Amino acid sequence: MNHKVDIIGASTCFGQPKLGVDFGPDAIRYAGLAKALEIQGMNVEDKGNITGQYKVDPTLHSAKEEMGLLNFEQVKDFSTELAEEVESSVKLGRFPLILGGDHSLSIGSIAGISPHYENLGVIWYDAHGDLNDSETSPSGNIHGMPLAVACGVGHESFVNLHQPGVKVKPENVVLIGMRDLDVGEREYIKENDILTFTVTDIREKGMASVMDEAIAYLKGKVDGLHLSLDVDGLDPTETPGTGTPVDGGMSLSETQLAMRRLNESDLVTSMDLVEVNPLLDEKNMTAEKAVEIASFLFGKKQL
């Protein structure tokens, strides 16, 4: 693992309708992220927060709809700014750790990372596939679309953001923790033969086996691996402070094991840690779990 880590706050709530998720980066910082990573021997630089137009647009949540995409312009502008910041980090040979913020931020983070890899891989650790577009999305919320955009599906302004074209090949994607997929997402997964592990798969096989299979599938195929982890991948009893919780998710111990396996693989080159909403949280426990998850990715052990 790269020991030089840039913390980049992506303070966006543009991709969904609930206020508060834009405070997620600071909640994670308050929970002790930088210190926790430094204990693991990381060289940590905090690059502050990207906030986009939120500073000058208090009417954001009127949520003007364009082309079936809510807050289209805000997401596009924010994603462009984030992509530039993330690419700067990668160019300096550092590990960008992007804190959210809603999952639409991955449009920008992946766009900033992908120019530096011929075959970028993605592990999407989430309750949802985030593989919708404006035609398949039931809501028009862009936080349900970033992985589709990365794979080249969606509005051309998003698909071509920062650099033209596909950022990630579908065959280089692994989905982990799926339990709330829309019809269009299911069809896309089947059509593109995306390696997918549902929560049922994890219960039947065990997390260690699932992670070993995912790592073996990607190793040798990819020259960089982006981990995009939504805290709603965990069960709401573990991470209540998130906007789209789904019962029956992974436990913290399962997630710690997954992170430990990824650390041992030495494949991960960047990470999103998203959808922490302190306004929905209980005593900042979701942000604290986010810190614990990141700590295990960067080498924390229980013994």
pLDDT for 74-133, tens place per residue? Answer: 999 999 999 999 999 999 999 999 999 999 999 999 999 999 999 999 999 999 999 999
Whether the full predicted model's pTM is greater than 0.75, yes or no, is yes
Res 7 pLDDT > 50: yes
Residue numbering of the annotated binding site: 103, 126, 128, 130, 230, 232
What residues act catalytically? 103, 126, 128, 130, 143, 230, 232, 275
- Rounded-to-integer distance, Cα 176 and Cα 197, Å: 5
| Mean pLDDT calculated for residue range 239-258 | 98
Res 57 pLDDT > 80: no
pLDDT tens profile 228-238: 999 999 999 99
Res 189 pLDDT > 80: yes
Q: Where are the domains of the chain?
A: 4-297
Count CA atoms within 13 Å of residue 113 on its CB side.
29
Cα-to-chain-centroid distance, residue 120:
15
Residue numbering of the annotated binding site for Mn(2+): 103, 126, 128, 130, 230, 232
Asked if 239 contacts 289 with a C-beta cutoff of 8 angstroms, the reply is yes
Residue 56: per-residue pLDDT: 41
Residue 51: per-residue pLDDT: 86
| Mean pLDDT calculated for residue range 36-53 | 94
- Rounded-to-integer distance, Cα 297 and Cα 103, Å: 19
| Mean pLDDT calculated for residue range 221-247 | 98
pLDDT band, residue 249 (cuts 50/70/90): very high
Residue 239 tokens read as: 């991470």
Cα-to-chain-centroid distance, residue 252:
17
Res 60 pLDDT > 70: no
Average pLDDT of the residues of the chain: 95
**Residue whose token pair is 């005593």:** 283
Res 61 pLDDT > 90: no
pLDDT tens profile 28-41: 999 999 999 999 99
Residue 223: per-residue pLDDT: 98
H/E run at residue 10: strand 4-10
| Mean pLDDT calculated for residue range 255-265 | 98
| Mean pLDDT calculated for residue range 57-78 | 75
Class of domain 4-297: alpha beta
- Rounded-to-integer distance, Cα 228 and Cα 219, Å: 17
pLDDT tens profile 147-182: 999 999 999 999 999 999 999 999 999 999 999 999
Residue 53: per-residue pLDDT: 61
